Amino acid sequence: MTRVEQVTEPCAQHGEGPVWHPAWRGLRWVDMLAGDVLTLRRDGSVQRAHVGSVVAALRPRRSGGAVLALERGFALADDSLTAVVPMEDLWSDTGVRMNDGGCDPQGRFYCGSMAYDEATGRGRLYRLDTSRNVTVVLSGVTISNGLAWSPDGRTAYYVDTPTQRIDAIEHTAGDFSRRRTLTHIDPALGAPDGLTVDAGGDVWVALWGGGAVHRYSPRGELLDVLNIPAPRVTSCTFGGPSCTDLYVTTSRQATDLTAHPESGALFVARGAGRGLPALTFDG
């Protein structure tokens, strides 16, 4: 059984979106509603950079720096996250915010939105092209989450959390088609949230309210369960020098902190599998 270790103190009110990139000297993730990007230093301490009122996701840029999803749109930043240049807001509705995203193998960045009150169908999934044009890829989404690609880049795995599904979507030149259900998760086990795909094509998904990460085969078979000592598990990614350590983010939102004081900490399962390098934004 893979051992799960606590890496940090509870440092995020709502930790999300972890990504490992060598040029950043390790792991970054977001404290979403605080608008902060967190960086895990080599000594185990956490560096915090404030980049906006909300920061939903980030990925490295091929040319250096980072691409960010802020509350209502995208932004570019330098490696130190001290110079953040927002793009034009994609909408004016203050009741909707960005929530989770990732890059495809061709260097485009995606992020999906949701209503603050989680109203049905008010979210969308947006694609930021390398030319910096923005396109709506999916609409009628409620809580857009967990976007990652198969090793061959032909399949995108996507979560709209209230559906309790991980969906597999054919991916060609930035467009999605032939959406199908990879697996349906029993609500008693938690709700699917952020996810990652390993080098063998297996899908690892965080379970909000389930205190676990599940690993599924490309055929939707449950292969493994990693129990996390915090109920609100939000996302996961592979990292470390050999990309074999699974890092897991958690949240303190709607949590009994007396029963679960570790909530909001970063966890790791060392040697859990073998991940893929972070995909970069090529704009």
Tell me how many degrees the CA angle 283-34-247 measures, rounded to the nearest 5.
70
Contact of 216 with 183, CB cutoff 8 Å:
yes
Residue closest to 161 by CA, chosen among 141, 175, 137: 141
Query: What does DSSP assign to residue 232?
Result: B
Please state, in angstroms and rounded to a whole number, the distance separating the CA atoms of residues 189 and 209.
Answer: 8
Annotated active-site residue in 31, 100, 167, 193: 193
Beta-carbon contacts of 154 under 8 Å, excluding residues fewer than 6 positions away, are: 170, 171, 172
Is 160 noted as a catalytic residue in this protein? Answer: no
**Other beta carbons within 10 Å of 85:** 11
Query: What does DSSP assign to residue 50?
Result: E
- DSSP for 163-196, please give it: GTEEEEEEEETTEEEEEEEEEE--GGG-EEEEEE
Contact of 167 with 215, CB cutoff 8 Å:
no
Grouping H, G, I as helix, E, B as strand and the rest as coil, residue 152 is coil
* N residues, the chain: 283
Please state, in angstroms and rounded to a whole number, the distance separating the CA atoms of residues 91 and 113.
Answer: 11
Half-sphere exposure of 124 (CA within 13 A, CB side): 14
Tell me the catalytic residues: 193
